[in-house]
A and B are shown apart, each in its own frame.
Chain A
Amino acid sequence: MQTHELIEALAADTGRVPAAALERRLALAGAGGAAAALVLVLAWLKLRPDLGEAMGGGFFWIKALYTGALALAGVWATASLARPDDSPRAAVLIAFALVAGFEIVALVQFASMDAQTRMAALRGVSWQVCSRNIVILAAPMLAMSIVALRWMAPTRPMAAGFAAGAFSGGVAATVYGLHCPEATFVFVGLWYTLGVMVSGVVGAIAGRIALRW
């Protein structure tokens, strides 16, 4: 087959591409993924019984702000990695700063505790399921994000997959806050962060398989 013949076929397939197509696809994955995570929380994990009361307190919002900010850094990195001529550096730096900032506060809180409180803070009431639940809640959104990226040109498929996983993990962790009663920097800094990271690793594996072109 000759190249000019291929070009005829490509010209016949000229579709309109809306402005900000990438942003739209990622926003759609984010909205769809958040909705899926919310359904999972409502149907499977259930809302925390004291939700109304918790929303009146500060830590509920600090937690949501942290995971929400991770999601934003994740989506920014994903968008940069989706374009072959862009660099994710700024987004990665911000993600590092966010995690480092939160972990420093967690360490300070940890250092101020006595030995018994430390153990209680590390384990909370849900340390065995927290990270796992976040990864599960993130799974539908990760799948949607990978599908969105298959339209794009990520020249680093594993990194793009990791970013998509962290984006999904950040959104899922934010939704998970509607169920999870944990309220210390120590717990969130450890198990929430781990959940987002593991989502990223799952994303990297998915990217290696599904995003090469």
Chain B
Amino acid sequence: MDDLETQLKRLMLSGLDGDAVAHRRLMGLLSERLRAYFMHRMASAPADVEDLVQETLLAVHLRRESYDRAQPFTAWVFAIARYKLIDHWRRRRVRATTPLGDVEDFLAADTVLPDDGLDLTRALASLPPRQRALVENVKIVGLSLSEAGAQAGVSEGAAKVALHRALKRLAGRMRHANA
């Protein structure tokens, strides 16, 4: 358990310093943890699990600044996951029948295989064409930001800003997808 905290925190700290490889690895590990945690608590709506995983990953990514480097990382992530789960229940008017658990449950849950996220697909389709193309180029084609920017006819800096904006918009759209 301590190993996971140490490992995740190290990746988070590198990511905060701008290391994209560490950040990708962190998001990958977190997606497994989140999927397992939500799966246990959303037995009545398993189809929503992946949507919530993706929404939470977006929130963790976009709100990285709220992490205090001096504090445990898993407690911070778990607080965000819990908030997202409660918010999901509230929006779907599901009464909480499963306990929220604590950070130990979050760390210990079994891993599960991912599904497709339908909400995110829909949210992506609703983005303005240029933003959508940018996200698709970096996510599917695997282009670097400068390559994707060049394809869209903008500088790497402009592509960076546009991608960040697109992700913020995705997060907002997802939350309103089933409000």
Which A residues form the contact surface with B (CB < 8 A)? 1-17, 19, 21-22, 25, 82-86, 151-153, 155, 212-213
Q: Separation in Å of the B47 CB from the closest CB of chain A?
A: 14
Which B residues form the contact surface with A (CB < 8 A)? 15-21, 23-24, 27-28, 31, 50, 53-54, 57-59, 61-69, 71-72, 75-76, 78-80, 82-83, 87, 114, 116-117, 120-121, 124, 135, 138-140, 142, 144-145, 148, 160, 163-164, 167, 171, 175
Query: Which residues on the B side are within 8 Å of A151 (C-beta)?
Result: 62-63, 65-66
Listed residue (A8, A9, A17, A19) with the most chain B CB atoms within 10 angstroms of its CB: A9
- With contact pairs A6-B57, A7-B24 given, residues A13 and B79 touching in the complex (Cβ less than 8 Å): no
A-B contact count (CB 8 A): 130
Q: Is the CB of A11 within 8 A of B23?
A: yes
Q: Is the CB of B114 within 8 A of A3?
A: yes
Query: A153 CA to B53 CA in the complex, in Å?
Result: 17
Q: Is the CB of A8 within 8 A of B57?
A: no
Q: Is the CB of B140 within 8 A of A84?
A: no
Listed residue (B58, B61, B69) with the most chain A CB atoms within 10 angstroms of its CB: B61
Residue of A nearest to B83 (CB): A155
Query: A85 CA to B64 CA in the complex, in Å?
Result: 13
Q: Is the CB of B83 within 8 A of A84?
A: yes
Q: Separation in Å of the A140 CB from the closest CB of chain B?
A: 22
Query: A153 CA to B77 CA in the complex, in Å?
Result: 10
Chain B binding surface SS class:
helix
Q: Is the CB of B120 within 8 A of A12?
A: no
- With contact pairs A6-B57, A10-B57 given, residues A17 and B24 touching in the complex (Cβ less than 8 Å): no
Listed residue (A3, A15, A152) with the most chain B CB atoms within 10 angstroms of its CB: A3
Q: A16-B18, A153-B63 are in contact. List 9 more A-B contacts (CB 8 A).
A: A2-B116, A8-B139, A9-B167, A10-B61, A14-B15, A17-B65, A83-B68, A84-B83, A153-B80
Q: Separation in Å of the B70 CB from the closest CB of chain A?
A: 10
Residue of B nearest to A24 (CB): B65
Q: Is the CB of B114 within 8 A of A84?
A: no
Query: Which residues on the B side are within 8 Å of A155 (C-beta)?
Result: 79-80, 82-83
Residue of A nearest to B12 (CB): A17
- With contact pairs A6-B139, A15-B18 given, residues A21 and B65 touching in the complex (Cβ less than 8 Å): yes
Query: Which of B16, B72, B117, B164 is within 8 Å of A17, CB to CB?
Result: B16
- With contact pairs A4-B28, A14-B18, A152-B66 given, residues A9 and B80 touching in the complex (Cβ less than 8 Å): no
Query: Which residues on the A side are within 8 Å of B64 (C-beta)?
Result: 17
Query: Which residues on the B side are within 8 Å of A10 (C-beta)?
Result: 23-24, 27, 57-58, 61, 167
Q: Separation in Å of the B22 CB from the closest CB of chain A?
A: 8
Query: Which residues on the B side are within 8 Å of A16 (C-beta)?
Result: 16-18
Query: Which residues on the B side are within 8 Å of A9 (C-beta)?
Result: 135, 138-139, 163, 167
Query: A213 CA to B79 CA in the complex, in Å?
Result: 13
Query: A15 CA to B167 CA in the complex, in Å?
Result: 13
Residue of B nearest to A82 (CB): B66
Q: Separation in Å of the B157 CB from the closest CB of chain A?
A: 11
Query: Which of B61, B72, B75, B144 is within 8 Å of A13, CB to CB?
Result: B61
Query: A8 CA to B135 CA in the complex, in Å?
Result: 9
Query: A8 CA to B58 CA in the complex, in Å?
Result: 12
The 10 residue pairs across chains A and B that have the minimum distance between CB atoms: A84-B79, A11-B24, A16-B18, A14-B20, A152-B66, A21-B65, A5-B139, A153-B63, A12-B138, A153-B66
